Chains A and B, each alone.
Chain A
Amino acid sequence: MSDILLQANAVAKHFGGVKALRDVSLSIRRGEVYGLIGPNGAGKTTFFNCMTGLYIPDGGGFTFDGVALQADAPHRAAELGIARTFQNIRLFGNMTALENVMVGRHVRTKAGVFGAMFLNRATRDEEAAIRQRAVELLHYVDIADRADDLAKNLSYGDQRRLEIARALATEPKLLCLDEPAAGMNATETEELRVLIEGIRKDGTTVLLIEHDVKLVMGLCDRVAVLDYGALVIEDVPAVVQKDPRVIEAYLGA
C-alpha cells in the first residue's frame, strides 16, 4: 500500500479562455490533513470538482489509492472512497437530517430495485443497518437531537455538520471539505477544528479548502497554495507561511 492516497498529475481545466487550472500536480498522503488555500478564483473549487468527477479535466488526471479516477462519474468517485462537502451548503432540504445521512450510505450497500419492490429479508436487514449507522454518525457530529427535522430547518452550523456526517456515511478514505468554516463564528470554528481532528484520529484523510488561514495553519500537516490556477508551493505550514510568493499572492503583499 502506497503512502500516497491521492496523486494529481498536471491537471488542467479551461473555461473558454480562462485557465482555471494550469497543470496542477500535488499529492496527498494517507492520514494527513491537507490544506488547499489560495485567493478567490484561484481554482480551489475547480480542482475539487475535477477530482470528484463533476468537471472533466482538459488535461492530466488523478490517481486515487492506486486507481486512475475516471472523469464524469461522480458516483464512481464516491465508491472508490472520495466524499465531499460544499462551499455553499447543498443538503437535500426537504428530507430529514437522518435521511440525508442515509442517502450517503447508499454506496456501501447492495439492495436494488427488486429488493425494494419485494422487500425481501436481506433488504429489510440492510435498511435497519443503514438507519442505525446513520444515527451513529449524527451522534458523531453531535446533532443527533435534530435527526427528524428537515435539513432546511437546521441552523447554519448544524447544516455544515450534517454535510460532514453525510459525507462520512460513504465511508470515505478521503474527506474533502470545501470551506467548512465559511460564515462560522469563532466558537463554531473551534468546534469544527475539534471535529476535523477527531476525523483524522479515526483514520480518514482530510483535504481542506479554507479561507481561514489560522484554522488551516493550525490544523493541516501540509498545505498547498494555488494562485491563478497554478500551484505556488506545497509544504508544511511553517514553510508555506514564510514563503514570499505566498505572502504576495495570498496574503496580499
Chain B
Amino acid sequence: MDIFLQQIINGLVQGSIYALVALGYTMVYGIMGLINFAHGEVVMIGALISITVTSTLAAAGMPLGLAGLFGLVAAMLTCMALGWSLERIAYRPLRGSPRLTPLITAIGMSIVLQNLAMIFWGRNYMTFPPLLPKVNFEFAGTHFTLVQVVIVLLSAALMAGLVFLVYRTKLGMAMRATAQNPAVASLMGVNINRVIASAFVIGSALAAVAGVMVGSYYEIAHYQMGFMLGLKAFTAAVLGGIGNLAGAMAGGILLGIIEALGAGYIGDFTGGFLGSHYQDIFAFVVLIVVLMFKPSGLFGEKTGDRA
C-alpha cells in the first residue's frame, strides 16, 4: 500500500511536468492543427539555458536561490523567442500547404535544435545546480521532497493562469475564435498571425518552466532530454484529447500516474524479468490503446482527420 501511495505521488509530480508540456502541444494543435514535434526541444533548451545562467551567476557570487530565479526567467525569455522564431521561420511559410509538410518540418526542427544544443553545450550530461534546499517530508508512510511540492504547486498555478488567460481575456477569446474558424476570426479583426505566434510564445514559456522543473527534479540535463519528454507529453495530449486544454492537463497527470504505477509494479508482475527502467513502455502502450479505441481522447469532441 505504501508503494502504491508513493508511486501516486511520484506520478503526480512527473504528470504535472507532462501536463505543462502537453499544453504547448495542444494549444498549437487546437489553433492551427499542427503537431509541433519540436516542442520537446524547447523544453530541453529551457533546461540548458537555465543551467548556464544559474551556474554563471552563482559562480560570480550570487546566492543560489536568486541565481536560479534569474536562470528561470532567462530560460523563459529565450524559449519564448525560440517559439516565436520557430513559428515565423519554419511554420508560417508553410501555412496552407498539405498537412504532412509542416509535420515533417517540425521533426526536422527537432533534429536541428538537438544538434545545435549539442554543439553549444556538448554531448555530456550536465549537473543541474540544486535550486531548492533538500527538505524531506513524510506523510502516511510516503516520502517526498520540497522540489516535488514546488513542482506540483507551480504547475497548478501556471495551469490556472492559462485557463484564466484563455477563457477570460481578449487574447484568449481571439485564440478560441481562431481555433473555431480562422477566416471568420480574421474578418472580425483578429490578427491570425499574432494569435498563432502568441500560442507558440505562451506554450514555449510553459515549456521553459517544465525544462527547469525536470532539470531540478532529476538534477541532470542534456541535449537529448527533450525528445522522450516531448513524445510523452504528446501522448498525454492525445490521451486527454488533443486540442483540449483540460484534456492536456488531465492527460498529463494521468499519464504520469500510470507510468509511475507501472514502474513500481512491473518487477512484481514479470517476476523480476523487467525492471522499472522499462517504464517508457507504459506511455506508449497508452498511446497505442488510445489511438485504437478512442482516438479523440478522453475530452476530445471530434475525431480529427489531421496528420
Contact = CB atoms under 8 A, between A and B. Distances in A.
B180 interface: yes
Contacts of A99: 173, 176
The number of chain B residues touching the other chain, given as a range, is 20 to 34
B43 interface: no
Interface string A91-109: 0111100010011111111
Interface in A69-86: 74-75, 77-79, 83-84, 86
Contact of A126 (B170, B176, B180, B183): B170
B170 A104 contact: no
A18 interface: no
Contacts of A53: 187
A235 interface: no
A170 B183 CA distance: 16
B202 A117 contact: yes
Interface in B167-193: 168-174, 176-177, 180-181, 183-192
Given A75-B192, A78-B188, A126-B170, A103 B177 contact: yes
Contact of A109 (B165, B170, B176): B170
A77 B187 contact: yes
Nearest to A104: B188
Given A74-B183, A116-B165, A102 B189 contact: no
A130 B205 CA distance: 27
Interface in A16-54: 52-54
User: What is the interface of chain A mostly: helix, strand, loop, or mixed?
Assistant: helix
Contacts of B202: 113, 117
A166 interface: yes
A103 B198 contact: no
Contact of A127 (B170, B177, B201): B170
A128 to B, nearest CB: 11
The number of chain A residues touching the other chain, given as a range, is 35 or more
A106 B189 contact: yes
A84 B198 CA distance: 26
Nearest to A105: B170
A182 interface: no
Contact of A103 (B183, B190, B194, B205): B190
Contacts of A67: none
A90 interface: yes
A99 B171 CA distance: 12
Contacts of A4: none
B176 A95 contact: yes
Interface centre among A111, A113, A127, by most chain B C-beta atoms within 10 angstroms, is: A113
A90 B181 contact: yes
Contacts of B180: 92-95
Contacts of A189: none
A116 B187 CA distance: 22
Interface string B134-175: 000000000000000000000000000000010011111110
Per CB-CB distance, the 9 closest pairs between chain A and chain B, nearest first, are: A107-B189, A78-B189, A116-B171, A74-B186, A103-B177, A116-B169, A92-B180, A90-B184, A75-B186
Given A84-B187, A92-B176, A113-B202, 6 more contacts: A52-B187, A79-B189, A99-B176, A104-B189, A113-B201, A119-B169
